[in-house]
Amino acid sequence: MACVADKQANIEKAVALIREAAGKGAQIICLQELFASEYFCREENYDNFSLAELVPGPTTRRFQDLATELKVVLLASLFEKRTKGIYHNTLAVIDADGTFLGKYRKNHIPDDPGYYEKFYFTPGDTGYSVFCTKYARIGGLICWDQWYPEAARITSLMGAEILFYPTAIGWAVSQPEAINKQQYSAWQTIQRAHAIANGVFVVSVNRTGREQEMNFWGGSFIADPYGELLFEASHENEEVHVEELDLGKIDEVRIHWPFLRDRRIDTYGPILNRYIDED
């Protein structure tokens, strides 16, 4: 969905879209990263801290009631105010009976032109998380986490059947079209690789629309454990899509491609180094 400056208007739009998805048969519904506002991290502005809220808090309580009514699982990415001076980019997970299952706080925090997230967010301290919902065991990671195979691997090893990535990523208005295509392709490719390497489904949910000098590239997609695209949204349009996922396919893929079986965990110690320097 595209967002506007009015936080309450975004929440009401999200509620309407959740109802639409549930009406189409959705059981697990994921909203994009920081859906309740425009992507405020494009600038360093102290006023934006007023957008933050407690998690659980007013928005999660609203969604708990909605989840109970519709019997759906909800994943909602929120700007969390943990305490005075400590804020997180947080994914709240609500089960189909309205139970607040917990939250995942974004681990990888970017700091690039147009994405000044280190100004706002403290790195996550929840560890990687898997939530046993009514319909599936799901893992939640957030945007910049998408680029890190370690995050996908650990979450999969914890038993996730579906990796959800709520996202806010786009192109600078001034950027050449050739670069746009390269960036989107890389973004999708690495996440499809997570699906293949771990034998899981990947659901990536991005925002769309223009905000200041940024065109958010939409392109939300779903990949199966073979990395095959089951769905790909347009770049420009708001869309609600429901896809039926056969979780039995996970075992099928892992039997034929036993990557988890053949992992040489005794050789992976060097991954804990920032960089492996020459002697």
The yes-or-no answer on residue 33 being catalytic is yes
The yes-or-no answer on residue 41 being catalytic is no
* Per-position DSSP letters for 182-220, written without gaps between them: HHHHHHHHHHHHHHHHHT-EEEEEE-EEEETTEEEE---
**Catalytic one of 13, 33, 41, 211:** 33
Residue 128 has φ and ψ, to the nearest 5°, of -80, 150
Tokens of 78: 């929120």
Tokens of 140: 């939640």
Radius of gyration of the chain (CA): 18
* DSSP-derived 3-state class of residue 160: coil
β 162-167/137-140 pair status? parallel
**Catalytic one of 106, 117, 161, 211:** 106
79 close to 36: Cβ distance less than 8 angstroms? yes
**Rounded distance between C-alpha atoms, residue 18 and residue 12, angstroms:** 10
**Catalytic one of 81, 103, 143, 211:** 143
The yes-or-no answer on residue 81 being catalytic is no
Locate the DSSP E strands across 41-169. 73-83, 86-94, 100-105, 111-112, 115-116, 130-132, 137-140, 162-167
In the chain, the amino acid numbered 39 is Y
Other CB atoms within 10 A of residue 174 CB = 6
Q: What residues contact 254, with CB distance under 8 A and at least 6 apart?
A: 199, 225, 260, 261
Residues recognised as catalytic: 33, 106, 143
